[in-house]
Amino acid sequence: MKCKDYFNKVAPDIDARAWRADNAPWANWAWRIVRKEINAAPGSFIVDLGTGTGNAILNLLPANSGARFLGVDFSEEMIQRARLKDYGSASVEFRVSRIDRLSLPPNSVDYFISAGTFHHIKNKSRVLQSLSAMLRRDGKFINVDLFQPKTRYLSEMEELRRQNPEAAVENDRVRQQFQWIYDDDRLHPREFHMDPHDFAQLLENAGIGPATVHVSLQPGWAVVVGRKAAARATETSEAGQRTSRRAVSEGVVAS
């Protein structure tokens, strides 16, 4: 099944099946990071890539009610359901569009947020280059996603789990409760996972750096945050010209 057809099909049930801050410790952890990273002044423009039914926007609204929000998704069914939700008096709009075909004015976006979306995108480098042009100087790109970790990230995750054994056990217990979703999902489209640190490098190559990789107790789960440099991207992303300033978060555990 094609990716768009799949998400149109599952849209009616997606909210009941989704990981959320109130039902999954790794999602709660991730959204704490996202809310900390976003400090939107009134009028700031926040774009949610792969918005689905608008849950990320609802999550961010309480602390950023003066911002303007745009939710983007290629699924008409998802957008239809997102538009039915109550966003109060906030400035919230939705657009049906593929992310690789999104067109916004240059330097117009203050924050790009993406949750569970980029592992469905094959040519991540090209898409990030395009999005970088829309992101203002000092703007942020925040990616909460499923990854395919390599040795470095796996070591960081195992060390975090070793330091927080009780939280790791609780995380795994809750994760097992969600296994039925994966056992029941036989139509899921092809995915294009990559390592979190490799994704951070793609951000930096696109001029959205330095990038920070936040390590999760949940295997394969991470948050990667990049800030667009004030200088021109071509001056800040020359491969091999600088020592990576990428950081790894430590001691952040699910609650």
- The sign of the dihedral angle between the CA atoms of 28, 30, 35, 36 is positive
Query: What integer is the mean pLDDT of 109-118?
Result: 96
pLDDT at 221 over 50: yes
Integer distance in angstroms from the first to the last C-alpha of the chain? 36
Average pLDDT, the chain: 88
- Residue 6: the pLDDT is 83
- In what helix (H) or strand (E) does residue 114 lie, and over which residues does it extend? strand 109-115
pLDDT at 194 over 50: yes
- Residue 43: the pLDDT is 95
| Residue, of 149 and 249, whose pLDDT is higher | 149
- The sign of the dihedral angle between the CA atoms of 127, 130, 133, 135 is negative
Structural tokens at position 173: 């217990």
* CA nearest to 88, candidates 62, 106, 109: 62
- Residue 1: the pLDDT is 65
- Residue 182: the pLDDT is 67
Helix ranges, the chain (H): 3-10, 14-17, 25-37, 55-60, 76-83, 124-134, 151-163, 165-177, 179-184, 196-205, 233-236
- Residue 220: the pLDDT is 92
Query: What integer is the mean pLDDT of 215-244?
Result: 71
pLDDT at 85 over 90: yes
> What's the pLDDT band for 232 if we cut at 50, 70, 90?
low
Query: What integer is the mean pLDDT of 45-73?
Result: 96
pLDDT at 47 over 90: yes
- Please provide the DSSP assignment of 70-87 as one string: EEEES-HHHHHHHHTS--
What percent of the chain stands above pLDDT 90? 73
How far is 138 from 69, CA to CA, in rounded Å? 18
Decide: 22 and 28 in contact? Cβ < 8 Å.
yes
- Residue 190: the pLDDT is 77
CATH top-level class of 3-248? alpha beta
Coil, helix or strand for 201? Answer: helix
